[in-house]
Amino acid sequence: MKLTGALAIVEALHKEKITTIFGIPGGVVIPLFDALYGDKKINMVITKHEQGAIHAADGFARSSGKPGVCIVTSGPGATNIVTGLATAYMDSIPVVAITGQVPTAIIGNDAFQEADTTGITRPVTKHNFIVKDPNELTSVLKKAFHIAKTGRPGPVVVDIPKDITTSEFEFDYPEKVSIPGYNPTVHGHTRQIKKVMDAIKEAKRPLIYAGGGIISSDASSELKQFVKTTGTPVTLTLMGLGAYPGTEPEFLGMLGMHGTKTANYAVDRCDLLIAIGARFDDRVTGKLEMFAPHAKFIHIDIDPASIGKNVVIDIPIVGDAKNILKEMNKHAVKLDIKNWQNEVSKWKKEHPLAFMDDELLRPQYIIDQLYKITKGDAIITTEVGQNQMWTAQFYKFDKPRRLITSGGLGTMGYGLPAAIGAQFANPDSTVIDIAGDGSIQMNIQEMATISQCMLPIKIVLLNNGYLGMVRQWQEFFFNKRYSATCLKRTKGCPDICSNPGPQCPQYVPDFVKLAEAYNAVGIRITKKSDVQGALRDAISTDKAVLLDFIINPEENVTPMVPAGAPINKMISSKEDAEAFLLA
């Protein structure tokens, strides 16, 4: 049958079983939005900013395991999704972004709302296309979804000029595609797997270090089987939280800059580090030359470019984590590592994550209570900064795809629109955005999307009046010179201020009033005794709720590994930081 390009795109989305799309219309994509008008199979969610659309598509993908899709117009519409593309690229999230482009005849003429979308997005996408022949449109779309989902997942951009969407051609959507040079390895080499198993059986202090690749490949059950069979302790990256149940005894917590002391000590002491679906990034390794100094390294990853990039690997395996763990489980046996298990258990008892139990309203207590009230049965999105790290530390994730957060890029403003995507992907689930008062304002306009779509999203706002993580570094390493981090600061404040207190001006905005302006429920909590009731009330209602928790302004995330330090050198106070700087 003959279709216009716009109708062909809609039909291709049907073939890919896409049911939800996020975006904003604009001049050159009017034909595409017209083709979507009244479509019964696709829910078109209109966000209030293109960055909100791409983050919502990303949140949809992370929480569902299916590709997220967004549609935006040319020029500023396309450039506004670049941050979201980079976010998805760093964390290996399958997103397909369809961008409009000016007609092919005037590309390169600096036409109205023209931008070199493929040139701009090339560094932050797995691949991108520009369609200049209508007969290639359907094959390009098929390739885009195939590339986004397979191998190491990632975002793909399809840039489509306006005349392609209005041209008519014979619609034919391919069932399969063959892309020269693109054939990801999914099965690990048998000989390498044997080497891995031999090394594991010989190790006295083995440790599994797993990341987001476990979640991407749906390998959580295989990882759990391997850990339970062998008894090997396991630590997870931020992106891997939930890949192994956070309440199981073998789990040591997150490792790295704000990881647990147990996890970091285990990395420092292990004699075999088994990395699966992780990439040895700097927030994990700390001082690279002192990372796991006694260990041999095994690295299992579907992306061959990630293996050996940061550390020298003794036994590499390229392939899908699920397939490789299945093979490893066939040969797994209980290991004779009782001394190692006892040593790790001792660290867990001696160095638990803890916070001061006093009358102050502390963020750790809020998250701990949130976990207890939800019983871990919620999808948690986060903004970026202290709120994100407190969540990683104090909310126990027992299942994959329950923590939705920006890891690699650390994108402030991510959590709120990501919660929208997660709620659409999981309409019957409780979705909660744990936010900071600085980060959430970067995409606060998506409160309108939440309201208009009548989504029951809950926002737990940890309001300290600061860009908290930067302020923490300023406290530890810059003698409390809080430059540009106080969110209460006005023109009337003194030039130099390092003494926050009751004399400070009122904070702008009033988040309770702001929530009400967006037709949500706003509640301010200032007392520890009110936390449980407020959380229960919020979760029990089917309305969107913003809980504005006024927390201790100088609360810090600890433990913390200073930049450039080995990960076994953790600090917990300004005094620790001063001692570190003097050493």
Task: List beta partners, residue 204.
Answer: none
Residues 16, 22, 33, 50: which is the catalytic one?
Answer: 50
Residues 442, 469, 560, 570: which is the catalytic one?
Answer: 469
Residue 247's closest CA among 377, 399, 396, 400? Answer: 396
Examine the residue annotation and report whether 162 is marked as an active-site residue of this protein. Answer: yes
Examine the residue annotation and report whether 112 is marked as an active-site residue of this protein. Answer: yes
Contact 277, 217 (CB under 8 A): yes
Q: Mind spelling out the 3-state secondary structure of 160-219?
A: EEHHHHHCEEECCCCCCCCCCCCCCCCCCCHHHHHHHHHHHHHCCCEEEEECHHHHHCCC
Cα(462)–Cα(507) distance, rounded to whole angstroms?
Answer: 14
Cα-to-chain-centroid distance, residue 62? 8
Element (H, E) at 138: helix 137-149
Cα(460)–Cα(415) distance, rounded to whole angstroms?
Answer: 11
Query: What are the residues whose beta carbons fall under 8 Å from the beta carbon of 110, sequence distance 6 or more?
Result: none
Q: Write the DSSP assignment of 32-97 as a string of letters.
A: HHHHHTT-SS-EEEE-SSHHHHHHHHHHHHHHHSS-EEEEE-STHHHHTTHHHHHHHHHTT--EEE
Residues 149, 162, 261, 458: which is the catalytic one?
Answer: 162
Examine the residue annotation and report whether 355 is marked as an active-site residue of this protein. Answer: no
Element (H, E) at 458: strand 458-463
Which DSSP letter does residue 561 get?
P
Residues 17, 41, 112, 454: which is the catalytic one?
Answer: 112
Residue 256: left if φ>0, alpha if ψ -120 to 50, beta else—which one? left
Examine the residue annotation and report whether 469 is marked as an active-site residue of this protein. Answer: yes
- 3-class DSSP assignment, residue 376: coil
Residue 421's closest CA among 47, 87, 104? Answer: 47
Cα(550)–Cα(436) distance, rounded to whole angstroms?
Answer: 11
Q: Which residues are catalytic?
A: 50, 112-113, 162, 469
